[in-house]
Structure 1
Amino acid sequence: MPLETIRTLAGNLLAGTARPDRLARVPFQMTRYGAVPAVVGAMSALRFPHRVALIDERGTLTFAELERKAAALATALRDSVTGDGRIGVLARNHRGFVLAVLGLSRLGHDVVLLNTDFSAPQLGAVADREGIALLLHDAEFDELVDASGFAGVRVHSYGDAQLGSLIEDVEPVPFSPERPGRLVIMTSGTTGTPKGARHDYSLPALLAGGLSFARRAPMRSGSPVVVAPPLFHVLGFGFLMMGLALGSPVVLAPRFDPAATLAAIERHEAGTLVAVPIMLQRMLDVPYGPRPMSLRTVLCGGSALLPHLSERFMDEFGDVLRNLYGATETGWAAIATPEDLRAAPGTVGRPSLGIKVKILDADGRELPAGETGEIFTGGGLRFSGYTGGGGKDVRNGLTATGDLGHLDASGRLFVDGRADDMIVSGGENVFPGEVEDLLNRHEDVAEVTVTGVPDDTFGERLAAHVVLVPGAATTADDLRDYVRQRLARFKVPRDIVFVPELPRTSTGKVRRRSLPDA
């Protein structure tokens, strides 16, 4: 283990200036609440009471203030949910979201993180399926919630004084739930109806995950962390919890703005940025944007990080980029260091500590290095099924990810694409990522996505939706020739559609169903 990593890990373990009597109470928080988000806030309030915990557009909160408000919220609302009723949180990135999760996860009811991109019918269907009885939502979603038909208890988490008045009027009362609640995170729903994924957390798994990040993605206790992805997403939520656990100020903004994010990193001298690939692209495109010298670690995940983007980002920001791979159902499975990304562009790295990654064929046989099959993982967070029923394919204790990939001779993992995204054209298998990466390297291309569309002759053909840089005059034939000169003929998109922008979710994934017809 590198000396710098050892120093960082030791510093994180020894961080905190709490009195011995306060430190002695830290382990009992797990006993009281179980492995739920509330434990993170309670433990950190004991270790770092006077440190800044959150920074948002309303100012700052210390860990002691955050814990007091979270406990008061739990006290105020503990009788609002009975039986097996669940709690929903529909909020953007701000203190209201954090208070809702840290406060209400101690009540013994499952907490469901809801996607702010939901339509009214989606929200209604999910709330009904998940049995949500109490919904904390931002005031901006009033009309959405009205139209969804939700009939349970509603509390504003942001946008007026309701949450603040609830907290200020209540004296926190300590209590222990009859059973630990679970956290339910929704899948993206880009290929179907969003599902709720349940996990069973264990202390060994959480410690192993933390140690793995300390080894490959060092984050220093007390150093500010800018979390740009939505907190309802596993990437944003995971590093919100990681930052709070380390006693680091977490910097949040309700909506991502690339220039504002760069300014926030520089203003707060943040050491860590968490982002999805399209956010990195947007930051690179900011004219004369700063390249903050404080950044030591940039953690990227949520969708494919194509080689052209990782190379350009590290060329401008330095070798600080880490690529994370995982899924809502299975948690993080692999981490690529800057050294990995330089040596093998496109890799998602090696398996995390305690994680097994295997490439299996359709019959469940393990494939050797270089051969593509489905990625199976195991040993981390234990996926306990979808809340609406069903689960993932499990073989020999390993859970299917739904991704196809391969390992190289050095044990690095590469994700070739989603199994349902693979295009079979004239009997040839084509993964869109390879074609997208090449087209993104064209000087006149700002963004591109490649999909398969039905074809009477070949079964499927490739279609590329392209956003050109302003003022570019490149034609569809120019781009076809560009691909034809560098890749096999069957990988050349027959259809090229120029669009002003690509429709994306709030986590940066392209909404392929919303693309115009080729």
Structure 2
Amino acid sequence: MSRSGLVRALGVGLHVPYTLVKSRVLLPGRPVRMARQLYSLARWGISPAGAFRANAARVPHHTAVIDPRGHLTYREFQDRATRLAHALPKLHRRPRVGLLCRNHRGFLETVVACSQLGADLVLLNTGASGAQLKSVVEQQRISIVVADAEFAPDLHLPDDVRLLVADESDEHLTIDEVIAPERAAVIPPPAEKGRTVVLTSGTTGTPKGAKRPHPKMRSLTAMLSRIPMKTGYRVHIPAPLFHTWGYAAMQLTMAVRGTFVFTGRFDPASSLRAIARHDCDAAFAVPVMLQRILELDESELDRHAPERLKAVAVSGSRLPGELATRFMDRFGDVLYNLYGSTEVSWAAIAAPGDLRRSPDCAGRPPFGTDLALLGPDGHPVADGERGRIFVSNEMLFEGYTSGGGPTSHEGMFQTGDYGHFDAHGSLVVEGRTDDMIVSGGENVMPREVEDCVCDMDEVAEAAAIGVDDEQFGQRLVAFVVLNPGWDLDEATLKHRVKTRLAAHSVPREVHFIEGLPRNATGKVVPGELRRLLSEAA
């Protein structure tokens, strides 16, 4: 082995223990509890079942979950999850479970119960329509749907699919009703681990099921090396758990024996109060949630200012530079921005220092992740030039349930975005490869225009899309949401864009609307913008 290869091997070998010590996961404790913890991990591995069993063995009386229904310790939570695992096979001999819940204990209990059984789990989007859900249930061959009561009226399930309500209901069977009141017998590890299927959160078309790989200790520590989570942290997670980002937040929190703090449906005031009331150390959100929090009254922001918040990590949609700066000016340099996708998990993470220097950057790849910008010929582009983003790491997904996968190159997956490296070596994501339009023979990136418009004091948020045009081939249309009490007209907006960008980047049309249509993960839905455009015609 060469010297460089030896250094790399040593680095890989030392990374895991170093990060675990730094995050205080590897700390001495009571010998008996430590032995039980290690025994659980040895039998169950780094799975939800293994992690929660190990935590219940190590810190049985530590609070695991705080949600609108109250508190649960790790021992209490593990007991409920085990009793649910005993109940599911009684509803269907070979359960394949669809989970349609907001963030609360019922979601976690179902995840851990399925993990104990080795049952496949499909995470369903709470923003999907009844018809979409019915289609996904059929395509994924789901036999049991665990859902919140609020979603039950819109579910049109086949006769052979059982419905189990995760919260309270007078009309449907609930988790509390199916689990036995007495403590359940221990379940042995399954012969084969179940698969977790995450639905892609694309803004167009029917979402595809993506098979997630089982987490490895090295992949968890890669995240912990960039996002400063420590043992025992109280973590507020308003990001949807059914999405890859929310699910990753769940895995990190259970890895550090943390306390999950949930409020159910996202509400900016409720989230801010929960962070302050429960002395949360960290939070995981999507960017639009930060924007909604900053829109609260100054008195509300002052009254519930967090005192212990050390890290706020966001992902799931783009983080506008002005939002990053405004948030850190208000709450301190605690913001971390992760860029990734369902298919590649993560690609890069920007720390507060990166965002202060380049507010619109996505940062650098964490340990064990390779990132490349490739041109049409498959070769790396020159420094500063735009290229297609390709990623490789240990958590690349294992393919779509319908077959196939994204474009790949020498073991790396394409994210579907364009980007470039800035002068500091940080990745800057410019937009989707299929978003770029050609107007009058010129390439236009909608994101560049969106950022320019959002920099205007009058503007709260903006989106730009390309539509067909007989004269120019395509034309750029901007949708703009103004801050309350501010005025801005179309001519002034276009003039300001023209002073900063090329003439072909000036929107041909500008529509002022009350709010951008977003899906459950905070992404703007272009199809809804086109519908608004057709209605205005």
Distance in 1, matches of 2:151 and 2:469, equals 42
2:160 maps to: 151
RMSD over aligned Cα, in angstroms? 2.1
What is the CA-CA distance between 1:433 and the residue it aligns to?
1.8
Structure 1 alignment gaps of length 5 or more: none
Select the residue among 374, 377, 381 that pairs with 1:367.
381
Q: 1:151 to 1:482 in 2, by over 3 A?
A: farther
1:218 maps to: 228
Select the residue among 422, 426, 451 that pairs with 2:436.
422
What is the CA-CA distance between 1:395 and the residue it aligns to?
1.3
**1:302-381 residue pairs with structure 2 within 5 A?**
302-381=316-395
Distance in 2, matches of 1:16 and 1:234, equals 32
Equivalent residues of 2:62, 2:74 under 8 A apart? yes
**1:34-73 residue pairs with structure 2 within 5 A?**
34-73=45-84
Q: TM-score, normalized by length of structure 1?
A: 0.94
Distance in 2, matches of 1:31 and 1:382, equals 24
2:272 maps to: 262
Identity of aligned residues (%): 42
1:299 maps to: 313
Distance in 2, matches of 1:356 and 1:295, equals 30
**1:483-498 residue pairs with structure 2 within 5 A?**
483-498=497-512
State the one-letter code of the partner of 1:310: A
Is 1:184 equivalent to 2:223 in the alignment?
no
What is the CA-CA distance between 1:51 and the residue it aligns to?
0.5
Equivalent residues of 2:23, 2:224 under 8 A apart? no
SS of equivalent to 1:364:
coil
SS of equivalent to 1:482:
helix
Distance in 1, matches of 2:277 and 2:67, equals 13
Select the residue among 45, 58, 78 that pairs with 2:89.
78
What is the CA-CA distance between 1:21 and the residue it aligns to?
2.8
What is the CA-CA distance between 1:138 and the residue it aligns to?
1.1
1:199 maps to: 212
What is the CA-CA distance between 1:142 and the residue it aligns to?
1.5
**1:376-391 residue pairs with structure 2 within 5 A?**
376-391=390-405
State the one-letter code of the partner of 2:211: R
State the one-letter code of the partner of 1:183: T
SS of equivalent to 1:383:
coil
SS of equivalent to 1:135:
strand
SS of equivalent to 1:103:
helix
State the one-letter code of the partner of 1:412: S
Distance in 1, matches of 2:427 and 2:139, equals 36
Q: 1:409 to 1:91 in 2, by over 3 A?
A: same
State the one-letter code of the partner of 1:293: E
1:128 maps to: 138
Distance in 1, matches of 2:19 and 2:147, equals 41
State the one-letter code of the partner of 1:40: A
What is the CA-CA distance between 1:168 and the residue it aligns to?
3.9
Deviating beyond 6 angstroms after TM superposition, the runs of 4 or more aligned structure 1 residues are 5-8
What is the CA-CA distance between 1:35 and the residue it aligns to?
4.5
Distance in 2, matches of 1:223 and 1:34, equals 22
1:22 maps to: 33
2:427 maps to: 413
Q: 1:437 to 1:332 in 2, by over 3 A?
A: same
Is 1:112 equivalent to 2:122 in the alignment?
yes
Is 1:459 equivalent to 2:473 in the alignment?
yes
What is the CA-CA distance between 1:79 and the residue it aligns to?
4.1
Is 1:445 equivalent to 2:445 in the alignment?
no
State the one-letter code of the partner of 1:46: A
What is the CA-CA distance between 1:225 and the residue it aligns to?
0.7
What is the CA-CA distance between 1:363 and the residue it aligns to?
2.5
What is the CA-CA distance between 1:194 and the residue it aligns to?
0.4
User: CA-to-partner distance for each residue in 1:108-138, whole Å, 9 max, x for gaps?
Assistant: 2211110011111111111111110111111
2:5 maps to: none
Equivalent residues of 1:197, 1:386 under 8 A apart? yes
SS of equivalent to 2:428:
strand
1:286 maps to: 296
What is the CA-CA distance between 1:362 and the residue it aligns to?
2.2
Structure 2 alignment gaps of length 5 or more: 1-10, 12-16
SS of equivalent to 1:55:
strand
SS of equivalent to 2:391:
strand
1:142 maps to: 152
Equivalent residues of 1:53, 1:62 under 8 A apart? yes
1:243 maps to: 253
Distance in 2, matches of 1:349 and 1:12, equals 25
Equivalent residues of 1:35, 1:180 under 8 A apart? no
| 184-193 or 349-358, which deviates more | 184-193
Equivalent residues of 1:209, 1:352 under 8 A apart? no
| 56-65 or 21-30, which deviates more | 21-30
2:22 maps to: 10
What is the CA-CA distance between 1:158 and the residue it aligns to?
1.3
State the one-letter code of the partner of 1:39: G
Distance in 2, matches of 1:302 and 1:11, equals 25
What is the CA-CA distance between 1:41 and the residue it aligns to?
1.1
Distance in 1, matches of 2:223 and 2:420, equals 23
Q: 1:68 to 1:164 in 2, by over 3 A?
A: same
